[in-house]
Amino acid sequence: MTPPCGSSSACRRRFPTGTCVSSSPPAVYGTNLKVSNLINMMPTALHPCIVLADSDIAVPPDYLLRIAAALDAPGIGAVTCLYHGVAGAGLWSKLSALAIDGHFLPNVLVGLRSGLAKPCFGSTIALRRSHLEDVGGFAAFADCLADDYAIGAALREKGLEIAVPRFLVGHSCAEALAAGIVAPRAALGAHHPHRRSARLCRFAGHAPACLRAF
């Protein structure tokens, strides 16, 4: 299982009056270890609304306010966010960000506008605890590779919609080599432009690394 990261200590220092809990129990549920982490983290979630976010996502200061407002609308089962690439140092990182901004993002926008896309991205999945329980909790997705897509699909089957607010979060592109862009990564459950282009209809992503309840 993934050990607690140093960012949890930094979070406690920055927000000393808040509640920040690290969790890395040894139990493993299913074949998707990311979902297994979420199952293990759920006992520490204290509130009725839960927000999942990938660890490589940068968000604006009013992120939670905007997510909560979207989630509060009638008939909404979850909120997800589109994202743009944020290049780091080096050519390959810049090319990866370009692939997101010039290929993936326009495709998703066209899909949303035409009604053909039904996305639910790991960049953000915000939902109510009650809705999560209605679809079987995270345990129902313990063997799903594209867990983010599966969560969205399960909520839609319950007659709920997935809201996509009109703002972008940033996806950090840390590729240092060409292989980070072109090598097959599907077996790792990674979320890369080549995988998105091959499975555009599903808009699969990789798993959340952060859980917040409010």
Question: What's the pLDDT at 79?
Answer: 98
Residue 45 Cα distances to 21, 38, 70, 129, 214, angstroms: 9, 10, 21, 9, 8
- Four-point Cα dihedral 109, 143, 48, 71, nearest 10: 10
Question: What's the pLDDT at 15?
Answer: 82
Question: What's the pLDDT at 26?
Answer: 77
Number of domains in the chain: 1
Question: What's the pLDDT at 23?
Answer: 73
With contact defined as beta carbons under 8 Å apart, do 71 and 126 qualify? yes
Q: In a structure prediction context, what are the per-residue pLDDT tens digits for the chain, which is 214 residues long?
A: 344 456 677 888 888 888 887 777 778 999 999 999 999 999 988 899 999 998 899 999 999 999 999 999 999 999 999 999 999 888 999 999 999 999 999 999 999 999 998 999 999 999 999 999 999 999 999 999 999 999 999 999 999 999 999 999 999 998 877 766 665 344 444 444 433 433 333 333 333 445 555 5
Question: What's the pLDDT at 14?
Answer: 84
With contact defined as beta carbons under 8 Å apart, do 152 and 80 qualify? yes
pTM as predicted: 0.79
Inside any domain, residue 186: yes
3-state secondary structure of 83: strand
Question: What's the pLDDT at 32?
Answer: 94
Cα distance between residue 96 and residue 73, in whole Å: 35
Amino acid at 126: A
Inside any domain, residue 204: yes
Inside any domain, residue 98: yes
DSSP string, 141-161: GTT-SSHHHHHHHHHHHTT-E
List for the chain the helix, strand, coil content (%; round to 5): 40, 15, 45
For residue 97, what are the domain limits? Answer: 42-213
Question: What's the pLDDT at 148?
Answer: 95
Strand partners, 128: 49
Inside any domain, residue 184: yes
Question: What's the pLDDT at 40?
Answer: 92
Question: What's the pLDDT at 192?
Answer: 42
